[in-house]
A = this chain, B = another copy of it.
Amino acid sequence: MQNGYYIGVDLGGTKICTALVNEEGKVFKEVTVPTEAEKGELKIVENINNTIKEVLGDVKIEEVLAIGVGSPGPLDVKNGLIVETPNLPFKNFNIVKAIKDVYNTEVFLDNDANAATLGEFVFGAGMLTTNMVYVTASTGVGGGAILNGRIFRGSTSNAVEIGHTTVNIHGRRCGCGNRGCVEGISSGTAIAKTANEAVKSNVPTSLKNYDVVTSKEVFIEAAKGDRVAKEILDEALSYLGILFANLANSYDPDMIVLGGGVSNGGDIVFEKIAEEMNRRALKPIREHCKIEKAKLGGRAGVLGAAALAITELEHKNKKDGYIIYN
């Protein structure tokens, strides 16, 4: 790592969050603006570049060592392209070039899951690890892996698509078309879906007291003792725990970090994970592997993008890098 500034850009379907940070993750300035995805790709680029200008303030771009961009995928990371993504209008758009055309510094791109993983590794729960798996459970289930101290991307840059781990072939059909994915059982969306099925049924449950039931209400009512809410979480979180045990047996990591909305569900989440880890992960693995809650919270995206900038610049300088731009 070098002294100097880094900029993280968290590009989302509804908002862009950009921050100026240093190599220790100290945030000097942060700005969030609407993405305005409906106005087309050039408008989005303009919005991104304006946020960079704003967080720079009096700081000169020459003092910024690198910019990292975290974006929904699929991406062509090596060529700096957003291939296409459901909530943004980009089609094979070179987002790296579009930023470099305005700002004369290094720019690196990766998907939001890898950026969040790097964020926890560089600034968050996994700071002292060498092998770390990050799991996010919210709308979907996704994640990333740091292996031997580096983000692991796989052969087509799609590694660690762990939401589509089959954990129960009789499970609900997942958005991917398959049945049994952990995303279809343990995501916040899945928890809400199961809860709403219960609300519409004849089963007596305090979940019926709400106009809208999301996973948050299921956690609230389970904590108050509602049997149905508890049953729903029991199943969803057991399978999340099975995912953790499978990841532990597969990656033998120092730590698995849980982020996303489900990680805010309280003790019940980590108790269920511990239960399945104890049951299913091999002894030397589970005795070593820590399970931690993500630390970056709402700043996961933007600090993750900054962590991407820091780590990729480091690899580029060492010439052991993976991301090579034409």
List chain A positions with a Cβ less than 8 A from chain B.
74, 130-131, 147-148, 150, 152-162, 164-169, 176, 178, 180-181, 242, 245-247, 249-254, 279-282, 284-285, 288-289
Contact = CB atoms under 8 A, between A and B. Distances in A.
Contact of A245 (B155, B166, B251): B166
A288 B155 contact: yes
A283 to B, nearest CB: 9
A242 to B, nearest CB: 5
Given A147-B152, A155-B131, A155-B253, A161 B242 contact: no
A162 B289 contact: no
Nearest to A168: B169
Contact of A164 (B152, B161, B181, B282): B282
Nearest to A287: B156
Contacts of A247: 250
A160 B250 contact: yes
B249 A161 contact: yes
Contacts of A150: 148
21 contacts: A131-B155, A147-B152, A148-B152, A153-B252, A154-B253, A155-B252, A156-B252, A156-B284, A159-B250, A159-B251, A159-B252, A160-B252, A161-B249, A162-B249, A162-B250, A164-B280, A166-B167, A176-B282, A180-B280, A181-B280, A250-B250
